[in-house]
């Protein structure tokens, strides 16, 4: 399949999606693919949904399992080729896509979820911290706020970014609160 649309190419940016796509060379359910990959069906469904939206996977059938309808999906092609007109645009897009996009935040949250799920929770000590809060920033000060936040985090990375000691991953996400009503 020759990919002409940027959205199709973007759907393949994540290695997990490429693995899901490979598994769907033959018809399969999200549960079957999840079992093969050692992931949850919900996580696989998330990737399948994006691949369906991009036209790279299609639902070929459906079956009823314990009263629930389960889709059977298959890749729309055996191989995918990027149009030469997309290659340069993707490189530029990937370089310019930054922390200000909600897509990046979603990818980051998925990465955090995967990392945390892989931790050995039976370990006697798992040093970690979770902080959440709400900040209100006037529209004319958003840029200043984001620059302050980035500067503060960069300072932490520089101070504690050495090669010795326990490695920790720090992920910070800032996104609009769903309910925009002001109290």
pLDDT at 101: 64
**Which whole number is the average pLDDT over 58-65?**
92
pLDDT at 165 over 80: no
Q: How many CB atoms lie within 10 A of CB 180?
A: 6
Three-state SS sequence of 76-101? CCCCCEECHHHHHHHHHHHHHCCCCC
- 99 pLDDT tier (thresholds 50, 70, 90): very low
Nearest to 106 by CA among 164, 180, 173, 21: 173
172 in Cβ contact with 153 (< 8 Å)? yes
Q: How many CB atoms lie within 10 A of CB 85?
A: 9
Q: Output the six-digit token pair for 97.
A: 């896509």
What does the pLDDT look like over 3-57, one tens digit per residue?
A: 777 777 777 777 788 889 999 999 999 999 999 999 888 889 999 999 999 899 9
CATH number corresponding to 2-75: 1.10.10.10
CA dist 3 and 62 (Å) reads: 27
CA dist 113 and 129 (Å) reads: 14
62 in Cβ contact with 71 (< 8 Å)? yes
> Where along the chain do its domains lie?
2-75, 94-120+129-176
Task: Report the Cα 33 to chain-centroid distance in Å.
Answer: 18
- The better pLDDT of the pair 104, 70 is held by 70
pLDDT at 60 over 50: yes
73 in Cβ contact with 48 (< 8 Å)? yes
């Amino acid at each position: 399949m020759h990919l002409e649309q940027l959205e199709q190419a973007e759907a393949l940016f994540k290695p997990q999606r490429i693995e899901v796509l490979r598994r769907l060379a033959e018809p399969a359910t999200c549960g079957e693919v999840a079992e093969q990959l050692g992931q949850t069906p919900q996580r696989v469904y998330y990737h399948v949904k994006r691949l369906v939206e991009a036209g790279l996977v299609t639902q070929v059938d459906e079956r009823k399992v314990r009263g629930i309808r389960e889709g059977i999906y298959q890749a729309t092609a055996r191989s995918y080729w990027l149009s030469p007109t997309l290659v340069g645009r993707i490189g530029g897009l990937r370089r310019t896509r930054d922390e200000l996009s909600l897509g990046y935040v979603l990818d980051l949250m998925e990465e955090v979820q995967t990392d945390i799920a892989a931790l050995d929770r039976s370990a006697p000590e798992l040093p970690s911290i979770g902080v959440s809060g709400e900040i209100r920033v006037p529209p004319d000060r958003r840029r200043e706020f984001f620059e302050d936040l980035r500067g503060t985090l960069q300072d932490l990375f520089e101070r504690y970014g050495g090669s010795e000691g326990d490695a920790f991953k720090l992920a910070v996400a800032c996104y609009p609160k769903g309910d925009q009503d002001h109290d």
